[in-house]
């Protein structure tokens, strides 16, 4: 068993200047934005200190500064995937990868399928690229979610959509899509000459017993029409350092990468490249401990809700540190997070931000100390007891 990563205490965290710790007053427990409360991986800290000590804070190296090779080695170890660094480019973040890929894969007004409830910026990134959002919600049988492959095929066959923006693992559900569904998706997309842009930012945080399958590994069709957006920013808590990777296989999508503007690489954060390289190359023991801490809290949240808020629906995530809570039975309206913030002083992410399917829901970030998670649930439970 790996040594479990321990969260910083609240007095240390409140000295951070990031959005998570400055958006609300000090009496609020911030469990909203996707930032972890854990210290950075020691290898990342050491490399950043060394860079700052030598004044190495300039522009990112055009070749990727070793980040591409480090990610490729990690992907081989973790998933049995050996992406070619020659088919990668660095970028500022995953959102930039998505927008720049969509700009080259769509004509103005083309539809792009998204699968709500889904990461809120997807609703904005598609129009930013000049395309139109086509919603094909996930199927929910009351126990599990999965892709609506028939709905996606209908959207592509009718011409309403040109391709798919896939969230894998899926935010906010922590859903790790089954390989069989991904194979079927690749067949559907290939039949209609479409594309898939797969946002895989949460993949390194896949939980024990679950299997993450990179989209570009599922079939020759997927390799021909797929683009993957990869990053260490969620796995190693590096969002502010700005580095992501656009990854393709040989063929048409490799041509797409070669055609991306040089400025996309130039805008990558140099310190982000360093941190990404060191995380994937030398931070894996830390990553294992962090996943163990997240898994502990995922189990703890289930136990706390069963004991204190049994009317709240919760399906344990299979990846990352985001919990999707069905609070509709509490009778707090479409946006229960608003009342929870105002009266319980716990900041969650509003469910409706993830699409119409999020009415009555909220997203909770459980990458915190167990004591903080317990206090947050206790606060919400006391509010529920008041009616």
33-63 pLDDT per residue, tens: 999 999 999 999 999 999 999 999 999 988 8
Contact (Cβ atoms closer than 8 angstroms) between residue 199 and residue 119: yes
The pTM assigned to this predicted structure is: 0.97
Angstrom distance (rounded) from CA 187 to CA 193: 10
284-319 pLDDT per residue, tens: 999 999 999 999 999 999 999 999 999 999 999 999
- Residue-by-residue pLDDT tens, the chain, 387 positions: 568 999 999 999 999 999 999 999 999 999 999 999 999 999 999 999 999 999 999 999 888 899 999 999 999 999 999 999 998 999 999 999 999 999 999 999 999 999 999 999 999 999 999 999 999 999 999 999 999 999 999 999 999 999 999 999 999 999 999 999 999 999 999 999 999 999 999 999 999 999 999 999 999 999 999 999 999 999 999 999 999 999 999 888 998 888 888 888 889 999 999 999 999 999 999 999 999 999 999 999 999 999 999 999 999 999 999 999 999 999 999 999 999 999 999 999 999 999 999 999 999 999 999 999 999 999 999 999 997
Rg (CA), the chain: 20
Structure tokens at 239: 């969002």
In this chain, the answer to whether the domains covering 10-30+284-386 and 45-282 adopt an identical fold is: no
Fold (topology level) of 10-30+284-386 = 3.90.1150
The CATH code of the domain at 45-282 is: 3.40.640.10
Angstrom distance (rounded) from CA 232 to CA 56: 20
Q: So where are the chain's domains?
A: 10-30+284-386, 45-282
- SS3 labels along the chain: CCCCCCCCCHHHHCCCCCHHHHCCCCCCEECCCCCCCCCCCHHHHHHHHHHHHCCCCCECCCCCCCHHHHHHHHHHHHHCCCCCHHHEEEECCHHHHHHHHHHHHCCCCCEEEECCCCCCCHHHHHHHCCCEEEECCCEECCCCEECCHHHHHHHHHCCCCCEEEEECCECCCCECCCHHHHHHHHHHHHHCCCCEEEECCCHHHECCCCCCCCHHHCCHHHHHHEEEEECCCCCCCCHHHCCEEEECCCCHHHHHHHCCCHHHHHCCEHHHHHHHHHHHHHCHHHHHHHHHHHHHHHHHHHHHHHHHCCCCEECCCCECCEEEEECHHHCCCCCHHHHHHHHHCEECEEHHHHCHHHCCEEEEECCCCHHHHHHHHHHHHHHHHHC
């Amino acid at each position: 068993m790996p040594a479990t990563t321990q969260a910083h205490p609240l007095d240390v965290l409140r000295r951070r200047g990031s959005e998570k710790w400055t958006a609300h007053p000090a009496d609020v427990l911030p469990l909203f934005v996707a930032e972890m409360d854990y210290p950075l991986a020691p290898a990342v800290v050491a490399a950043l200190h060394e860079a700052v000590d030598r004044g190495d804070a300039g522009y990112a190296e055009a070749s990727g500064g070793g980040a591409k090779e480090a990610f490729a080695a990690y992907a081989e170890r973790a998933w049995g995937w050996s992406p070619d660094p020659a088919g990668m480019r660095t970028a500022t973040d995953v959102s930039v990868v998505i927008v720049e890929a969509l700009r080259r894969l769509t004509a103005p007004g083309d539809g792009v399928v998204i699968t709500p409830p889904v990461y809120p910026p997807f609703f904005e990134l598609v129009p930013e690229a000049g395309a139109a959002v086509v919603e094909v919600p996930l199927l929910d049988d009351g126990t599990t979610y999965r892709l609506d492959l028939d709905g996606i095929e209908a959207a592509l066959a009718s011409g309403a959509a040109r391709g798919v923006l896939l969230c894998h693992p899926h935010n906010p559900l922590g859903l790790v899509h089954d390989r069989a569904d991904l194979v079927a998706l690749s067949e559907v997309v290939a039949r209609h000459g479409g594309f898939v842009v797969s946002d895989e930012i949460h993949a390194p945080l896949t939980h024990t017993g679950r299997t993450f399958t990179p989209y570009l590994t599922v079939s020759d069709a997927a390799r021909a029409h797929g683009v993957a957006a990869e990053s260490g920013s969620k796995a190693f808590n590096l969002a502010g350092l700005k580095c992501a990777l656009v990854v393709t296989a040989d063929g048409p999508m490799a041509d797409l990468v070669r055609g991306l503007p040089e400025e996309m690489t130039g805008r990558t954060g140099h310190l982000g490249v360093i941190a990404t390289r060191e995380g994937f190359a030398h931070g894996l023991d830390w990553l294992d401990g962090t996943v163990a801490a997240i898994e502990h809290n995922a189990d703890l949240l289930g136990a706390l809700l069963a004991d204190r808020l049994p009317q709240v629906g919760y399906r344990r995530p299979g990846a990352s540190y985001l919990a999707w809570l069905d609070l509709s039975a509490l009778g707090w309206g479409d946006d229960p997070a608003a009342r929870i913030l105002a009266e319980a002083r716990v900041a969650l992410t509003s469910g409706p931000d993830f699409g119409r399917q999020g009415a009555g829901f909220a997203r909770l970030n459980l990458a915190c100390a167990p004591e903080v998670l317990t206090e947050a649930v206790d606060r919400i439970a006391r509010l529920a007891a008041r009616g």
